[in-house]
Structure 1
Amino acid sequence: MQFLEDRMSFISQVFERYPRALTTAAAVLAVAGAPTALLLYQHRRLGRKVRHSTSRGSLADLPLQDIKSIPESVQDKDAASKTRAVYDVASLSTLDINISPSLAEEEILTRYLRRNMTAFSRFPQAYALSLNCDQSSRKTFKASHIQALNFELGDVVCGAYKVVCREQDRVEFGMELNQIRGRLVTTLERNDGQIIFKTQTVMWQPGDVKTPMPLENPVLKFAHEITSWWMLEAGILYLTDYTSV
């Protein structure tokens, strides 16, 4: 058992340093139906490291923390109560001194998102999104496109994520899929000598729509969690390595 734990720990370190390896492993496991022990191990390891929670209910009931771009049409309590929603939040911190003090929050967040969205563009989820995109939208999956972004209002990443709110310490992406609406929010906060990176995902649709949303599907929820948690960890590692040079 200890041998297995040691091997898993070693492989985990490889994934942290070489993100494409995790992408490839996920794709192979998904397509070939190989044993999922490695992904289960990663999920368990990251779940212990990352603070995370999931809530379900109507938009009126969910403990949304500070998402600023929720449409006015569903901010009304009566309208919000007629929705079905899922809210997922995950966060991870690093010591402030681990990231160059010469970088402003806006630059830190931009570099973090460039790195993470470029990595995401090679994940199976992004490949699935690309199947429904036209030729023009497929350009938004390219690393050259993502690495040039400052994540300003209107910028689009991986076909489905459009920037709808941009501040110094936050980027909020809007998402639409059939009747599903959503927000993917990345923020950073300096607090007591630490920098806290947080990812919030909220999806909602009319309450009378019975089709499950992605975060209501156990397999897709698992994929979302391992991707979200890993990007928090790998994104912070990238920043600390990059800015320590």
Structure 2
Amino acid sequence: MLPRYIALPSSKLAICLAILPLAIPVTYLLYTDRVISRQLKTATGLRDKKKRISTIPPDVPRPQTLPQEVESDDDSECVLAYERIVSQPLPPSSLLRHNPPEYETDLPTVVNTYLRATMTAFSWTPQAFILRASCAGDEAVKQTFDTPFIQNLKFCEGDRVNGFWRVVYRGEGRQRGAGGERVEMALDAPAAYRGPLVKGVIVAGIEREGGDVVFVNETWMWRRQGEAPVLLERGVGKWLHVVLSGWLIMKGLRAVTVAREKAA
């Protein structure tokens, strides 16, 4: 049984969508979107039986921790939305270039470095500042937004990061082939939070693709029929989420591939 989840509630989402274009110039958003479209592969989908919509490819590996009542395409009455962003294939020898050769195929170490970079980058976004403010009075949760805290995380099951994400699975998961590494984080509201709840799981990790590897970032959100639409169902909100997710992936990729170039 997963914990209770949270994403930005509709009122705070409206604030975020208003703040983000002010905090990051529209030209930069458009530039980032263009870079993402060239360097990353993005896919989104929606399953809504009431509207007879089913655009989630059946071969997409589902999160290991997706609740059974949500997972089934045949029986579930939940609306399920997903976003999947994948990097270009990379040779394993290009990873963690600042480390000794034995680390070049140590995917758990690579994933830790990758996640530390993406989660630290997120902690400085307007969304993160709003989420942190909603945890007023809970210093232990607020600490999980701090860069030193994130940089020391090993992303083991039970670890909390940026206040609202809790690691609920780490392992190979259900990705194509074998030998990958993924971390699944439930959107888990801390006890101090009193806002509306939205259910979801974020997946980050590495998958094997032939002799290369690809970095993957997925967001899965769901709701019951009649509940307010989730962020990934809306046009502008969905686009902003893709841009933010793609930007975070590029931050993570830079952290695990650029060091040897500096040393060379």
TM-score scaled by structure 1?
0.78
Contact kept, 8 Å, 2:80 with 2:222, in 1: the verdict is: yes
SS in 1 for 2:157: coil
1:125 to 114, 124, 127: 127
Give the Cα separation in 1 of the matches to 2:87 and 2:33.
Answer: 15
How far apart are residue 35 of structure 1 and its match? 5.7
Structure 1 residues 35 and 227: alpha-carbon distance in aligned structure 2, compared to 1, 3 A threshold: closer
Residues 27 and 239 of structure 1, relative CA distance in 2, 3 Å threshold: farther
Q: 1:46 aligns with which of 12, 29, 36?
A: 36
Q: Quick one: which of 149, 153, 161 aligns to 1:145?
A: 149
Give the aligned length: 217
| Alpha-carbon distance between aligned partners in 2 of 1:234 and 1:181, rounded to the nearest angstrom | 26
In structure 2, which of residues 33, 42, 46 is the aligned counterpart of residue 56 of structure 1?
A: 46
Which structure is higher in helix share?
1
Aligned equivalents of 1:29 and 1:191: distance in 2?
35
Separation of aligned partners in 2, 1:35 and 1:235: 22
Q: How does 1:76-225 map to 2 (within 5 A)?
A: 80=76, 82-93=77-88, 94-99=90-95, 100=97, 101-103=101-103, 104-134=106-136, 135=138, 136-167=140-171, 169-176=181-188, 178-209=196-227, 211-225=228-242
The offset of 1:89, in angstroms, is 0.3
Please tell me the residue identity of whatever aligns with 2:237.
L
CA distance, structure 2, for counterparts of residue 29 and residue 156 of structure 1: 25
Identity %: 29
Q: Paired residue for 1:8?
A: none
Structure 1: how far apart are the matches of 2:75 and 2:129? Answer: 34
Structure 1 stretches of 4+ with a deviation exceeding 4 A read: 26-29, 76-79
Q: 1:145 to 1:29 in 2, by over 3 A?
A: closer
Unaligned runs of 5+ in 2: 1-16, 173-180, 190-195
Amino acid at match of 2:216: K
CA RMSD of aligned residues (A): 2.7
Equivalent AA in structure 2 for residue 175 of structure 1: L
Letter of the aligned partner of 1:69 in structure 2?
T
| More RCO (CA 8 Å, sep 6+) | 2
How far did residue 57 of structure 1 move? 1.5
Counterpart CA distance in 2 for 1:71 and 1:220 is: 25
Amino acid at match of 1:214: L
Report the TM-score when normalising by structure 2.
0.73
Amino acid at match of 1:44: R
